[in-house]
Structure 1
Amino acid sequence: MARAYPGLPPTFLEEAASIARRIRRRLRERRCRALTRAEPIDAGRTLVTVRETTPMLIDPSDEGLSRSLVADGYWEMWLTEALEAVLKPGMVAIDIGANLGYFSLLMAERVGASGRVHAFEPNPIMADLLVESAARSGLADRISLHRDPLWDLDGEASVLRVPDGEPKNAHLITHAGDEIEGIRMISRRLDGFGDLLDADVIKIDVEGAEERIWRGMAGLFGRGRPLTIFLEFSPVRYEDPMAFLEDIMAQGFTLGELSVSYGIRATTAERILAGAADEDRMLALRRAAQA
Structure 2
Amino acid sequence: MQKGTTVFIKLRRTLAPAMRQILEHVGPLRYVGVKMMSWYLKPTVQWDGHTVSVDPVDFGVSFELESTGEYEAASMAYCKSVLKPGMTFVDVGANIGLFSLMAARQVGPTGKVYAFEPGADNCTLLRKNIEQNGYRNVTIVEKAVSDKTGTCTLYQSGFNTADHRIYHVSNSRKQVTIGCVALDDYFPTGTTVDMIKMDIEGAEESGIRGMKRILNENQGVKFIVECWPAILRKVGTDPIQLFQSLEQTGFVFSFIDDATGAITRMANAEMAVMMCVQHKMANILCIRE
Counterpart selection for 1:250 from 232, 248, 268: 248
Contact 2:227 2:273 in 1 (8 A): no
One-letter amino acid of the structure 2 residue matched with residue 271 of structure 1: M
Contact conserved, 1:159 with 1:180, CA < 8 A, in 2? no
* Structure 2 Cα separation of the partners of residues 228 and 277 of structure 1: 24
Identity %: 26
Select the residue among 85, 89, 95 that pairs with 2:85.
Answer: 89
Superposition pairs for residues 26-41 of structure 1, below 5 Å? 26=2
| Alpha-carbon distance in structure 2 between the residues aligned to 1:126 and 1:224 | 29
Aligned equivalents of 2:111, 2:137: Cα separation in 1: 7
Shift of 1:45: 8.7
AA aligned to 2:238 is D
Paired residues of 2:157 and 2:173 also in contact (CA < 8 A): no
Deviates more, 1:111-120 or 1:82-91: 82-91
Please state how far the C-alpha of 1:133 moved relative to its aligned partner.
0.9
CA distance in 1 between partners of 2:274 and 2:58 (Å): 33
3-state secondary structure, aligned to 2:177: strand
Q: SS of 1:119's equivalent?
A: strand
Q: Deviations over 1:112-154 (max 9, x none)?
A: 1111100000101111111111111111x11100011111112
Report what 1:274 is aligned to.
274
SS in 2 for 1:273: helix
The answer (yes or no) to whether the contact 1:119–1:143 under 8 Å persists in 2 is yes
Tell whether the 8 Å contact from 2:45 to 2:51 is kept in structure 1 after alignment.
yes
What corresponds to 2:141 in structure 1? Answer: 146
Listed as ranges, the matches of 1:116-135 within 5 Å are 116-135=112-131
1:278 Cα offset (Å): 8.0
Determine the structure 2 residue equivalent to 1:3.
none
Please tell me whether the aligned partners of residues 73 and 261 of structure 2 are also in contact (alpha carbons under 8 angstroms). Answer: no
Distance 1:66 1:45 in 2: 9
Q: What's 1:68 paired with?
A: 64
Question: 2:109 is matched with which residue?
Answer: 113
Task: Tell me the amino acid that sits aligned with residue 147 of structure 2.
Answer: D
Larger Rg: 1
Is the 1:201–1:228 contact (alpha carbons within 8 Å) kept by the matching residues of 2? yes
Partner of 1:186: 179
Structure showing the higher helix proportion among its residues: 2
Shift of 1:211: 0.8
Report if the CA contact (8 A) 1:242-1:269 is conserved.
Answer: yes
Offset, 1:221: 2.1
User: CA 1:273–1:134 in 2, change beyond 3 Å: closer, same or farther?
Assistant: closer
What is the count of residue pairs matched by the alignment? 244
Q: Aligned pair in 2 of structure 1 residues 105, 184: CA closer, same or farther (>3 Å)?
A: same
In terms of mean alpha carbon deviation, does 219-228 or 262-271 score higher?
262-271
Corresponding position of 1:99: 95
Root-mean-square deviation (CA, aligned residues, Å) is 2.6
What are the within-5 Å matches in structure 2 for residues 7-86 of structure 1? 25-26=1-2, 46-51=43-48, 53-86=49-82
